[in-house]
Structure 1
Amino acid sequence: MMLMVPLLITAIIVIALAVLTARAVNKNVYRKGKYSYSQRVCWIFSGYVAVLLICVVLDTVHPVKIVDEWKKVDTKVLEKESTVLYDTALAGKIANEGGEFLRKKWNFDYNGQQLNIAAIQDEYLNTSVVVERKNHNDGKIEAAYYQTRSSVNGMDITELANPPGLELAEDGLLLRNPKKSKIKFSEFTNVFSVKQFTEEDFFGHDSHFSEGQSILYLRIPKDLELIDKTNINLNYVE
């Protein structure tokens, strides 16, 4: 009920404005056709003011709702998370300090002295690979995938990101890029009558995407030699 009050006030103002304008025009018109141009201008101006007032009130009373499922995030915070996670991985501390970003884990048994590592179909790998050598040879390869948060236009879409594929085959350890997710969404912007009083761009709207940092962290036996077959660019713990 309270929401109807502003609308009623606006309607009264619009009607009053239209009536006053019509009376003012009629007083100046003594014969048919006289001051017709001024009359049209007054009516156009009155109509514009009416639409302007209605749009402003509607925008205030019925603001655009944000999708509740997606939280708002600060892109600067996300950038800092990515930098910190990468530095933590290179320092060999990711297991202890990066737990909140852990997405998936694998374990493989392997007793060979050498192991090829390659991206499936020689595709470019979007994930950074960090390797840590253990202090002993236990015949086990431990893999963990970490990823910081992702966003689109300040909305957290991390849950839509998929982990990469990883498998141990006869010809080596094979990596596959994460399955792509398709995102379709719409955004509402204020109409021109409202934008002219704000700092919004009249003619365009920019979208911002932050993918986040993704890291595949491998812990391998002490003397196992990894052979990079597809220029994955392996990073070893410092």
Structure 2
Amino acid sequence: MSVAFAPLLLWFLLIALVCLAVYAARRTDTYIGRRKLGWFLAGYFAVLICSPVVLWLLPPERLPAAVDAAALQKTEAAARDLFPAAMAGRPQSVDGVRKLGEWQFSLVGDSLKIAGNRPYSGLNVLVERKDENDGIIEATHYFTGAILEMIDVSAQVRPVEVTLTENTLMITEPEQYKIEVIRFTQDSMAAQILGGGFAWRLFLNDVIGEQLLYLRVPQGVQIEESKYHLQFVKKDQP
């Protein structure tokens, strides 16, 4: 039997089982009991029938993009390699890294204070000292992508906002949010039809992703003490 006919056969089997259950309910002795059971089965059957139609009507642009094993491995490698590469002054060399935001500011004076609305969030802030005193501060928000259960959710990650007021560089991080992923499989549908529990499974196809803010400051600028755990780039690393 062709695999293409398997879902159709499953739907026919489901219809037959529901019809059989409704017929059995009508033959029960209690009118109220069979009426409740009939309404319950009818509602359940309606939900199952309508769910594929609703899914088909959803706009394609709202459906997250699924990835393959190669893309998952590439994202894992990028998340692993970004921080070491950035500490060596080469964040852009990582395959698969992307820029969520870029900023440039003109600094007046020779001191810089780095502050933020959530300095203890765990955001890595790396500082590279330039070879010259050009008076320009450069900030780049790097991100390696995020995958949950083989679904690319990178578009849901928002960049930080960076502003400069006098000699204070302000990092404004977006509010935290929660992403929930629900997967329906053939086993789950079979369990509803045939009875029995659902098997527990491990969610191993996840990559949270790595992100950091990379700052390039003029050589002679003094960085004041910050609540952020600032880490200074060592460009002499291999």
Alignment of 1:50-61 (within 5 A): none
Match of 2:100 in 1: 103
Match of 1:7 in 2: 9
Quote how far apart the aligned CAs of 1:107 are. 0.6
Alpha-carbon contact 1:167-1:174 (below 8 Å) kept: yes
Give the aligned residue type for 1:145: H
Match of 2:150 in 1: 154
Distance, in Å, in 2 between the alignment partners of 1:123 and 1:147 is 18
Alpha-carbon contact 2:82-2:97 (below 8 Å) kept: no
CA RMSD in angstroms, aligned pairs only: 3.9
Deviation per CA, 1:152-187: give whole Å up to 9, x if none: 112111111001121112461111223434535432
Picking from 159, 179, 183, the partner of 1:183 is 179
Match of 1:81 in 2: 78
Alignment of 1:17-56 (within 5 A): none
Change (3 A) 1:151 1:99: closer
Deviation per CA, 1:78-122: give whole Å up to 9, x if none: 2211122222211112245568512210011103111111222x5
Change (3 A) 1:73 1:127: farther
Alpha-carbon contact 1:162-1:179 (below 8 Å) kept: no
Quote how far apart the aligned CAs of 1:212 are. 0.5
Percent identity over the alignment? 25
Give the aligned residue type for 2:9: L
Quote how far apart the aligned CAs of 1:129 are. 1.2
Change (3 A) 1:111 1:190: same
Change (3 A) 1:95 1:210: closer
Q: Which has the larger radius of gyration?
A: 1
Match of 2:194 in 1: none
Any unmatched runs of 5+ in structure 1? 15-61, 196-200
TM-score (norm 2): 0.62
Distance, in Å, in 2 between the alignment partners of 1:224 and 1:112 is 8
Distance, in Å, in 2 between the alignment partners of 1:175 and 1:145 is 11
TM-score (norm 1): 0.62
Alignment of 1:58-137 (within 5 A): 69-74=64-69, 75-95=72-92, 97=94, 100-120=97-117, 123-137=119-133
Alignment of 1:212-231 (within 5 A): 212-231=209-228
Give the aligned residue type for 1:112: G
Distance, in Å, in 2 between the alignment partners of 1:132 and 1:202 is 52
Alignment of 1:200-211 (within 5 A): 202-207=198-203, 209-211=206-208
Distance, in Å, in 2 between the alignment partners of 1:168 and 1:5 is 58
Alpha-carbon contact 1:137-1:221 (below 8 Å) kept: yes
Between the two proteins, the alignment pairs up a number of residues equal to 185
Deviation per CA, 1:18-58: give whole Å up to 9, x if none: xxxxxxxxxxxxxxxxxxxxxxxxxxxxxxxxxxxxxxxxx
Alpha-carbon contact 1:126-1:177 (below 8 Å) kept: no
Distance, in Å, in 2 between the alignment partners of 1:185 and 1:124 is 27
Distance, in Å, in 2 between the alignment partners of 1:192 and 1:103 is 38
Greater shift in the superposed pair: 85-94 or 219-228: 85-94
Any unmatched runs of 5+ in structure 2? 17-51, 57-61, 192-196
